[in-house]
Amino acid sequence: SHNKSIEHYFSTIGEKADEIGLSKEKIKKDFLQKLFYQLGRVPAVTTSNDLYTALALTVRDRVLRQFVRSTEEFSKKNSRGIAYFSAEYLPGPHLGNNLLNLEIVDETREALKELDLELDEIIEQEVEPGLGNGGLGRLASCYMDSLATLGIPAIGYGIRYEFGIFKQEIKEGWQSEATDKWLHYGNPWEVIRPEVSYVVKFGGRTIHSTNENNKYAVEWEPESEVVGTAYDTPVLGYQSNGIIMRLWKAEATESFDFSVYNMGDYYKAVEKKVRSENITKVLYPNDENLSGKELRLRQQYFFVSCSLQDMIRLNFVQGRKLEEFHEKFAIQLNDTHPSIAVAELMRLLVDEHEMEWKQAWKITRNTFAYTNHTLLPEALEKWSVSLMGRLLPRHLEIIYEINSRFLHELREKGLSGEQIARMSLIDEHGEPSVRMAHLATVGSFRVNGVSQLHSRLLKTQVLNDFAEIWPDKFTNVTNGVAHRRFLAVSNPGLSRLITEKIGNGWLTDLTTLKRLEKFADDEIFQKQWMEVKLENKKLLSQLLEERAGVKIDPTMLFDVQVKRIHEYKRQHLMLLHILDLYLKIKDGKGENIAPSAFIFAGKAAPGYFMAKLIIRLVTAVADLVNNDKDVNKILKVAFLPNFSVKQAQRVYPAADLSEQISMAGKEASGTGNMKFALNGALTIGTLDGANVEIREEVGEENFFLFGQTTEEVQETRRLGYRPSKYYEEQEDLERVLDFLVSGELGNGDHELFRPLYNNLLQQDPYQLLKDFKSYCERKHEIHQIWKDQKEWTRRSILNVSRVGKFSSDRSILEYCQNIWNVEPVKLRD
Ligand code: GPU
């Protein structure tokens, strides 16, 4: 059926597949032309990057064609457009995904084969844009995929970081960071729009006056200005639509350069240029932690201001009045990183477009919706009032004005002084600061969390005061994942098997996977299912041998935890358990242990000592286990360096067991949990984030639950948690913890892991010791079930057939219905 729909679509406007380049012949011809005319190469003399670039350019033409068509359609419909504001995106490699969406994978493979080239090798060349830290950035890109597929007029605004998330290398067991030069080989996917650019001001002072019409007016006299230029990357949806991700790059303004230049100070002019361009130089590598750095606030304001100016321009281009802005657009704030937008839109409307405050506020509050992605106190953004006043003096005034009107409202409602202080946009404790989550909540028409549990905790705890006065403002949208990328593109074996059984309807409606359920007990199907998994595990084994130097028998149980390294995610709980198994085997008590490969990957924020020490512990445990002849037939441990979307696509298809073991109440949703389940891994997990809903969907008998609930965690803390109690009471635990400081790990250095040991025994803020026992028990049970491969496979099939809910298509439809009030625009019949 491939090509049908696109062919059909274009045939309605009188074009044939060959003309629009979907045939093998045309792809081959264009590829050779790109190679020759764009790169000056003939097939006999090329580098692998030439081949990649030529193919990418060939595909890009087709992508752009789709995009232009959709833009025309969208503008005819003139429905409300969605602007997704996100400081991070993690699109992953474009090529394979675009081929799938254009439905030209086979044609392209054939075309290349005729030239003696391998499509998969070329795809492998791509360097992905690492413009995000982890889940939040990847979610933004999953949503772009679904917005495009569902035909929703949308644009993703963000920052074109010159250096994305650092490249992680492991040196002597430690993480080391190298700069990510993702643009080094060029970027064939973006289109530069030099004429789409805006001036952004910083610093200086405000001048308040009454103008000639006797109107109160404020002028912002900045200290400096930079220009933001748009770089567009088309994001294709499955079969038809395309939307853009518009990323801003900072450049020096001409006027500023010239004025200094004319004064004869050439170096000063250049210095200014360098300083301006610094803004979009590098992504802050902190995940769920504040940097509090001025440059970060500059980045946030810079991209938000460019984006809002761009939207206001679009609003006028489309012949609309500014008063209708909120009818034309909804803006989704991806966490508080872009929340300065609330003040910026007010500034643009009131100061630059001379709108009355009240009307501007009505528009603003009907434009923004805010998604919260964490409850961790250390991740709730705050900016010191003094920094904000220095960098964005007018915005600080606006925030004070919003706040004074808001607090006035609260007083009228009769709230207590204490409650009002808690709700204020300004935190007066210690150094005064602006609470960005409060600004986002007050300035939005809707606030959502990212899983049922998280949204409930948001309402009852972190933003409880707000939920009480505005109960209808709060809602939930459980996260989802781009299943086309994370199943169709990255797991072709399983996709083929599924499609053979139930057809390919799952590509556009993941819930149709439930048709697989009736084959869960089918022995032939089980066997095919196991074969696919085994093939995927062989591929991952090869990768692990290359990248981690660890040889793994692909028949082992692949027990995997891949995600950012964070204490709350408890990678170290998994490590304590591995050490427990190690010691048992050494004692000759390993008879019940299923041969297991423990696979880790993930980056630690460069300044987060404990997280880096956890990585060091993974490599130390790997050294110990992999080199011990008594153990290494039963256990292997590997750390796959530099986890990325590209790596992720090779990991999920090969996993048997998915580790989702955060302390309950801490993981807002998790999305890796969904990707694993979709690829047939079973989950061991706590009742945290979306695990709760995954378990609900797959059935409790198909989910390995352990650990305390959120309520129990909180009760434990309330009662005065003393972790050493568990150390004293549980011999196994005592032995494992003491082993950390025995000198047997980390080349005989007793002190290496002392900080971790002390942390666990003295504070254990994430209650690992309390959950250790139930975790080990569950693991034991898992190992017994693993031995029954049929039973395991049956559960694996059931898991896949029941996770249809977790497509990002479903999430986006919920945003449309419950938040944005827009209907998907269907381009085809
Ligand atoms: N998340 Br806040 C990030 O990846 N980075 C952040 O700065 C913040 C949240 C994650 C959550 O930890 C994860 O639970 C969630 O699934 C994801 O955002 C997407 O909502």
CA proximity to 731, closest of 772, 762, 764: 772
| Per-residue pLDDT at 29 exceeds 70 | yes
Cα gap 295→9, rounded to integer Å: 47
| Three-class secondary structure of residue 28 per DSSP | helix
Q: Which domains does the chain have, with CATH numbers?
A: 78-93+128-479+813-820 (3.40.50.2000), 518-803 (3.40.50.2000)
Which residue's CA lies nearest to atom 9 of ligand 1?
373
The ligand 1 atom nearest the CA atom of 372 = 2
- Listed in sequence order, the residues at least 6 apart from 83 whose beta carbon sits closer than 8 Å to its beta carbon are 154, 155, 156, 157, 307, 311, 329, 330, 331, 332
- pLDDT above 90 as % of the chain: 89
Tell me the CA–centroid distance for residue 374 and ligand 1, in Å. Answer: 6
| Per-residue pLDDT at 44 exceeds 90 | no
Cα gap 579→598, rounded to integer Å: 11
Tell me the CA–centroid distance for residue 672 and ligand 1, in Å. Answer: 11
| DSSP, res 805 | G
How much is the average pLDDT of 16-44?
89
Q: Six-digit token pair at 162?
A: 């010159």
| Per-residue pLDDT at 269 exceeds 80 | no
Secondary structure percentages of the chain, helix, strand, coil, to 5: 55, 15, 30
Residue 538's CB is within 10 A of a number of other CB atoms, namely: 14
Rg over CA atoms, the chain: 27
Q: Which of 142, 144, 288 to mutate to test the pocket of ligand 1 (most atoms within 8 A of CB)?
A: 288
Q: What is the mean pLDDT of the chain?
A: 95
| DSSP, res 14 | T
The ligand 1 atom nearest the CA atom of 138 = 19
Which residue's CA lies nearest to atom 6 of ligand 1?
288
Are the CB atoms for 683 and 704 separated by under 8 Å? Answer: yes
Which residue's CA lies nearest to atom 16 of ligand 1?
670
Look at residue 17 in the predicted model and tell me its pLDDT.
Answer: 59
Tell me the CA–centroid distance for residue 373 and ligand 1, in Å. Answer: 5
- Cβ burial of 281 (10 Å; 0-12, 13-18, 19+) is middle
CA proximity to 664, closest of 454, 398, 416, 450: 454
Catalytic residues: 373, 563-564, 569, 671, 675
Look at residue 259 in the predicted model and tell me its pLDDT.
Answer: 57
In this structure, the residues whose C-beta lies within 6 A of any atom of ligand 1 are: 133-136, 139, 287-288, 335, 373-374, 379, 450, 479, 667-671, 689
3-12, 405-414, 497-506: the lowest-pLDDT one: 3-12
Q: Six-digit token pair at 223?
A: 């200290």
| Residues 97-139 pLDDT 10s | 999 999 999 999 999 999 999 999 999 999 999 999 999 999 9
Tell me the CA–centroid distance for residue 124 and ligand 1, in Å. Answer: 28
pTM of the model: 0.97
| Three-class secondary structure of residue 561 per DSSP | strand
| Residues 432-451 pLDDT 10s | 999 999 999 999 999 999 99
CA proximity to 107, closest of 62, 66, 70: 62
CA proximity to 772, closest of 566, 562, 569, 576: 576
| Residues 305-326 pLDDT 10s | 999 999 999 999 989 999 999 9
CA distances from 98 to 18, 88, 94, 148, 555 (A): 18, 21, 6, 12, 33
- Listed in sequence order, the residues at least 6 apart from 123 whose beta carbon sits closer than 8 Å to its beta carbon are 93, 95, 96
| Three-class secondary structure of residue 643 per DSSP | coil
Look at residue 258 in the predicted model and tell me its pLDDT.
Answer: 52
| Residues 489-522 pLDDT 10s | 999 999 999 999 999 999 999 999 999 999 999 9
The ligand 1 atom nearest the CA atom of 371 = 20
Which residue's CA lies nearest to atom 18 of ligand 1?
136
Helical spans, DSSP H, in 654-788: 672-678, 691-698, 710-718, 724-729, 731-740, 754-762, 768-787
In total, the chain counts a number of residues equal to: 829
How much is the average pLDDT of 226-250?
95
Cα gap 330→445, rounded to integer Å: 10
How much is the average pLDDT of 663-686?
98
| Residues 650-659 pLDDT 10s | 999 999 999 9
Cα gap 722→763, rounded to integer Å: 8
Tell me the CA–centroid distance for residue 652 and ligand 1, in Å. Answer: 19
Tell me the CA–centroid distance for residue 201 and ligand 1, in Å. Answer: 30
| Residues 188-221 pLDDT 10s | 999 999 999 999 999 999 999 997 888 899 999 9
19-23, 598-602, 668-672: the lowest-pLDDT one: 19-23
Q: Six-digit token pair at 104?
A: 């030209």
Tell me the CA–centroid distance for residue 150 and ligand 1, in Å. Answer: 24
Distance of CA 553 to the CA centre of its chain: 31
Q: Six-digit token pair at 654?
A: 């090969």
- Mode of pairing for the β-strands spanning 224-236 and 191-202: antiparallel
The ligand 1 atom nearest the CA atom of 376 = 2
Which residue's CA lies nearest to atom 7 of ligand 1?
288
Q: Six-digit token pair at 557?
A: 């149980």
DSSP string, 169-196: EEETTEEEEE---TTTT--TT-EEEEEE
Look at residue 275 in the predicted model and tell me its pLDDT.
Answer: 86
Dihedral angle sign, alpha carbons of residues 526, 532, 533, 535 = positive
Q: Which residues pair with 746 in a beta bridge?
A: none
| Per-residue pLDDT at 263 exceeds 70 | no
- Where is pLDDT greater, at 114 or 19? 114
- Listed in sequence order, the residues at least 6 apart from 162 whose beta carbon sits closer than 8 Å to its beta carbon are 183, 249, 280, 281, 282
Q: Which helix (H) or strand (E) holds 136?
A: helix 135-149
| DSSP, res 633 | T
Q: Which of 138, 290, 374 to mutate to test the pocket of ligand 1 (most atoms within 8 A of CB)?
A: 374
Q: Six-digit token pair at 74?
A: 């969208």
| Per-residue pLDDT at 464 exceeds 90 | yes
Cα gap 622→639, rounded to integer Å: 8
Look at residue 2 in the predicted model and tell me its pLDDT.
Answer: 39
| Residues 329-372 pLDDT 10s | 999 999 999 999 999 999 999 999 999 999 999 999 999 999 99
The ligand 1 atom nearest the CA atom of 668 = 14
